[in-house]
Amino acid sequence: METTSTLSKELLRAVAAEPEIAEKVQALVETMEGMIRSKQDAGEFAGLEQLAEDGRVMRFVADTLNKLPEAVTYSDKGFEVYVMLVALSREDAALRYVFRLSSWYINYGCNRELLYLCRILHIYPERGYLNGVYNRLAQYVQQMKRKRPHCTKSEELPKGATELEIPIARAKIKEMTGEELLQAEVYLGMVKNKRLVEKVTKHYMKAKNTGHLADLCGYSLSTFRRLFREEFRTTPHEWLKGLRKDKVKNLLTQTDLPLLEVAEVCGFVSQSYLTEFCQMNFGASPGEIRKN
């Protein structure tokens, strides 16, 4: 069978030692490969719930993935479909693996992968057996939002689970940005004023200032400021500035974009304004930030 995913290849390799389920695993891999090649969105993975009902096969899948030398990340083709498959299984082995993934991603700052776990919980909110994973992620998001040191050891593990220190060499390690935190809160249902947050999420990238964002969201400036502070525990101005700081730092440290392009992408009218912003907020020039 021709496969495009290293995860599919690992399953086919491992099942050679378990011929009694080989046919079922091969059929599963074929279905998964079809989903991977079709590049479906995570919310459109039709048929995964039915596949996840086969307990024997799902125990095999979870155990095989758990034995890999590195936790699966977006660098692994088929990451989304395989992680969702395991998350949809009620088998203890699958639950332990998903819980361990949440711990690995938190410990190593794999934010994109963390957001995907949050999205799975958003798509399937009725999966009560994933409450432990939800609590782990929600606790982390709350701690990050408060800018306090986050826990790297979970307080309540599912039966039989252990914390594993497995390096995730191919994933970029960094703290969650304000934008990522907001998205995680939306996925986890942690926001109080859902209508406000949905409007802010939709329009903040286009906003030039607080007044403009209030207009885009359909509120008077005074009402917007009040509602915003109640929800975000900060002012719109400080929140927008924080997002801009995140974006500037990310582009300077994670990309090779010329400084003029960084300035344009971040909404500065010139490179000199970018330099002034960096000096005021980071105490260093854009070039110095990039070198460090």
Q: For 140-179, write each residue's pLDDT tens digit.
A: 888 887 753 333 333 344 444 444 333 443 444 456 777 7
Residue 275 makes CB contacts below 8 A (sequence gap 6+) with 285, 286
pLDDT for the residue 115: 93
Least confidently predicted of 19-23, 55-59, 233-237, 282-286: 233-237
pLDDT for the residue 161: 44
Q: Mind listing the pLDDT tens digit for each residue in 25-67?
A: 999 999 999 888 887 666 667 788 899 999 999 999 999 999 9
Q: Which of 82, 101, 91, 102 is closest to 129 using CA atoms? A: 91
Q: Which CATH superfamily is domain 197-291 in?
A: Homeodomain-like (1.10.10.60)
Q: Mind listing the pLDDT tens digit for each residue in 81-118?
A: 999 999 999 999 999 999 999 999 988 888 889 999 99
pLDDT for the residue 90: 93
| Cβ atoms within 10 Å, residue 272 | 10
The answer to whether 173 and 110 are in contact (CB under 8 A) is yes
Q: Which of 36, 79, 31 is closest to 57 using CA atoms? A: 31
pLDDT for the residue 155: 38
Angle (CA) 62 29 39, round 5°: 105
What tokens does 108 get? 């190593």
Please state the domain extents for the chain. Answer: 6-145, 197-291
Phi (first) and psi of residue 41, to 5 degrees: -70, 155
